[in-house]
Structure formats: structure tokens, C-alpha cells
Structure 1
């Protein structure tokens, strides 16, 4: 499959350390603000929300918290993550499905696509298909919540960070590459654990500029009502952003 297309589930698992080790993913992302921001946006734009569909739910970490407030269903492309979610969070309704093509047969008050899931769809046709999936699960007034890169991360020098894991602290070296033609931001990571064990992964994400998101949403029947970086109402500084849109027809 071309590098411009979404990677198949097996390739995704091979390329991303978190997908190979869902428990590590949960541990590293345990302090994520995603659910807090998501709930604030829902309270602002659709406070009567009762039902939510999460496309790209991964391990179900965010879905578990959202399910404390809404009737939720999660969908993810990768069987390994779905199996992990079902095993560790058996109370959740989590299903395997490709968000370009999945059809659950019902609508919801809120459609969520968090954790940069949309960024793994690299080609324009695939992105259009994802928005068609959103429209297929929407009714007038349904809220769409997206979290994805809106600008590239560009660094001339490697970034060095320390990340707490279930196996101790990992020293991570990250190199970024930006391909303007394809709008793909590549992140190459080298992990070194306290034990000396090493791991490597490569993550490629499609960057969608705000006006592109406006266009894809409009073509699918949604009107964008807010874009924010999550640090304040209406603030948009990049590289990541939450986009809120409402289905109109």
C-alpha cells in the first residue's frame, strides 16, 4: 500500500511501540487532558448529550472515562487494541472497524475522533471517506469532535524527553521530518529503558490545516463551530487542535 494511504492494522502495530504494547500506551497516556477538553466542548456545544461514538478508541482509556457520563460505543481498526480493551475494560462496548467504511446502523449525539486517529489516514480520498462515515452516524444537531494535527512539528535538532512507563523511566530521542508535498509529519523515536533495553518506532501523521478541516466538514454536511488548542476558548496555536462541528442536514 502506498505511503499516502492509511497503514494496514499489522503495519500500524509494527510501526508504533504503543500499538505493540497497549499496556505501555495506557501507562504513558494516563495523564492525558483529552477527556477533560472533550467534556468541556460537549458541555459548551451539546450539553444534552446522552450518546457518543468514539472512532479510533484504541485501548478504550478515554472511552472508559467518557462512558461515566454518556452511553458510548468505541470502534478501532486494530484487533490487538480492541482485544486489550475488551480484556481490561469488559464493561465497554468496543468493536473492530475501519472508520473509512464502518457503519454501525445508528446515530449519536456526539461523534468523537480523538488521539490523532484521523492523522493516520494519509490520502484525500480516505479522509473524505472518514467524513462520510461521520455523516452516516449523524442526525441534525449531532456534534463532531476531532483531535488532529493542524500544523507540523519541525525541529532541526533531536528532541530528548523522559517518559515514565510501567517498566521505569524511558529516555526517548525523537527526530521529526516534514514532507510539505504529502503533508506527512514523520516522528522517529528511539526508546532506552532503565534496563538498557532499546526500542524504535516510526510514526507518520497527516497534517490537516484548519481551512482543510473546514472544507472536509462542509462537504460532509457539518459546520465548524470552534477550533481550539484546548488551553482556552477559541485559542489556536498549533500544532494540535480540537475541531468542533455540528451536522446540519
Structure 2
């Protein structure tokens, strides 16, 4: 990784509790069905696929399930997450890299970018560079599956929830802000664990609407074949969605 990539990784780690505590990340996301929905979309659009690259693989939670069927490799910007993934899933091929610039030197039948990873790429040029990375790892008919927010979450007042985690039970207070000019949805969380420990973090996600996603994909050589709700059931309600595209070169 370049010095700029390292600075960006450290900035994100400082702002996000999940990046500092990967076990907490895994615990809170334990009921995620992202990998299941992703596999169903691959079965529908490219059932013969055999190889897969996951950009923004995090703790390897989704990659572990996908690796039961595909020859997989994963890339993540956060060294702490990558190291945790290697330790908890030693059978997985996990690399540290920035999906705006990384080049692995080979292509795959399927490219995935799940868990809102694309939303952490904020600038227009950086989004375009990320799609160029997807294209650099694609051959003709490679399937791209993205999971990302397509509409902001807005709440007039903070929300509160009790969360069971591997670090203990916590009360989490969440507040949202929406900046239309930058299309950044900011989530501020205040964690109070029953042990008395407290933590705060701030998550900033770029919202790309469906037509924006389609435009970035087309410029990179992909044809969008579906954009569906994050439930995987079809339609598009928001705020999250799966985008499925096929590389045409």
C-alpha cells in the first residue's frame, strides 16, 4: 500500500469502532444475509462462475461462505480487518489493498463489493477509479455484484437500541445527518457497554443513486442487468440495493 493508502486506512480506523474491534464487527453483523443474496444473484445471472474476487472483504465473513463454492480471494484497505480475517479464516486468500488502485494481475468470473464498502469511496474521481479497478479484474461476461446505499437514512431524532456483542451487551444511540451537496450520509454512534465502557464513532457513506451507479458502470465497460432492493426480493425501496452488472469491455 502507498503512504496515502495507509493514511486513509488509519483515518477510517480512527473513526469507526468496527475497524478497531473486528470481533465486534463480526458479532453485530452475524445475522447478515449478504453472502446468501449475493450467491443467489450469481446463480441467476452466471451459474457457471467458478472464481470470485471480493473488494472490501472486511473480516472475511461473507467470503467464508462464498468460498464454499468459488475459488475466492479478498482485498481490504484495513490491515486490522485483514489480519483478523487471516487469523479467523486461515483458509482464505486475503490481501491488504485499496480498491481504488489495487491490481492483482488476474481476472475472475465474479467481482463482489458488499457490506456498503463502495460507500466509503466519497469523491467522484475515486468512485470512477474503483470501477476502473473492477474493469481491470474482469474478462468478458464477468459478473459484478455490488451492495451499497442508494438513498440516505434520515431520522428526526436519535435512535437507540440494545445490541448483544462478543464484547458484551451495549446500548447504542444513533443519529443521522444528510448533506445533499456531497451526498454523504453521516451516522454518529455512541456505545455504552454494560461493563461501563463507552465508545463513539462516526461513519460517513457516499450515497450513489441507481442512475449514478449505472453511469459509472457503463463508463467502466459494464452493462447493468439488475438493481434490486437489499432484501434480494426484487423491486427497489431502499435505502440499500444490490447492483448486478456484466462486463462487456
Q: Is 2:242 aligned against 1:230?
A: no
| SS state at 1:226 partner | strand
Measure, in 2, the Cα distance between the counterparts of 1:84 and 1:92: 11
Measure, in 1, the Cα distance between the counterparts of 2:163 and 2:246: 37
Measure, in 1, the Cα distance between the counterparts of 2:134 and 2:118: 12
Deviates more, 1:59-68 or 1:123-132: 59-68
Provide the aligned C-alpha RMSD in A: 1.4
Measure, in 2, the Cα distance between the counterparts of 1:205 and 1:99: 16
CA contact (8 A) 2:147 2:230 kept: no
Measure, in 2, the Cα distance between the counterparts of 1:155 and 1:49: 41
CA contact (8 A) 1:226 1:234 kept: no
C-alpha distance 44-89 of structure 1, shift in aligned 2 (>3 A): same
| SS state at 1:140 partner | strand
**Alignment-derived partner of residue 192 in structure 1:** 192
* Deviations 1:63-96, CA, capped at 9 Å, x for gaps: 1111011000000011111111111111100001
CA contact (8 A) 2:54 2:63 kept: yes
**Alignment-derived partner of residue 142 in structure 2:** 142
Q: What are the equivalent positions in structure 2 for 1:196-215 lying under 5 Å apart?
A: 196-215=196-215
Aligned length: 245
Ranges in structure 2 where 5+ consecutive residues have no aligned partner: 1-5
Measure, in 2, the Cα distance between the counterparts of 1:167 and 1:36: 26
CA contact (8 A) 2:74 2:94 kept: yes
Q: Is 2:118 aligned against 1:118?
A: yes
Task: Using the TM superposition, give the Cα deviation of residue 232 of structure 1 relative to its aligned residue in structure 2, in angstroms.
Answer: 4.7
Q: Is 2:81 aligned against 1:81?
A: yes
Ranges in structure 1 where 5+ consecutive residues have no aligned partner: 1-5
Measure, in 2, the Cα distance between the counterparts of 1:165 and 1:80: 19
**Alignment-derived partner of residue 154 in structure 2:** 154
**Alignment-derived partner of residue 100 in structure 1:** 100
Measure, in 1, the Cα distance between the counterparts of 2:200 and 2:142: 40
Q: Is 2:36 aligned against 1:19?
A: no
TM normalised by structure 1 equals 0.96
CA contact (8 A) 1:173 1:190 kept: yes
* Deviations 1:28-56, CA, capped at 9 Å, x for gaps: 11110101100110000011110000000
Measure, in 1, the Cα distance between the counterparts of 2:53 and 2:77: 14
Measure, in 2, the Cα distance between the counterparts of 1:232 and 1:139: 26
Q: Is 2:56 aligned against 1:56?
A: yes
Task: Using the TM superposition, give the Cα deviation of residue 233 of structure 1 relative to its aligned residue in structure 2, in angstroms.
Answer: 4.0
